[in-house]
Amino acid sequence: MSKIKILFQVLNVIFIILYVYPGSILGYFLYRDSTVQPQITGDFLVSSNHVYAFLVLSLIGLFAYYKSSKVIILNYLILISIILEVLHLVIPNRSFEYGDLFGNIVGVFLSILLISIFNFWRKDEHI
């Protein structure tokens, strides 16, 4: 298994742990308060933290699996971005927010756009 696939799988497990933990693990480590969620930048219509997180996860996942399992990885990334946020409806001390959900989805679609541009650019280089 390639290093990028291992990195994707490790990040995937970390994401799932961070999303299903009842509180903020990062808030606890940074502020000693699991009720505080660290904020990288201010939100604008969608949660910027969620956009950044899913952009990184999706880019790594697409680089790892795009050639071998394009449809599967695309479906997985879209579904995981939705499922992890919907789980906040039932996880104690977590709350479902549409801004977070749309931030997840925007991060995935931005990564798809970037990979498409990258692949298009690469094809032009070989001509």
Question: Span 38-42, mean pLDDT?
Answer: 76
Q: What is the pLDDT of residue 62?
A: 95
Quote the number of domains for the chain. 1
Nearest-angstrom CA–CA distance, 96 and 101: 8
pLDDT tier for residue 124 given thresholds of 50, 70 and 90: low
pTM of the full predicted structure? Answer: 0.86
> Which residue from 87, 95, 115, 75 is spatially nearest to 16, judged by alpha carbons?
87
Rounded to a whole number, what is the distance in angstroms from the first to the last CA of the chain?
Answer: 31
Residue-number span of the structural domain to which 117 is assigned: 3-125
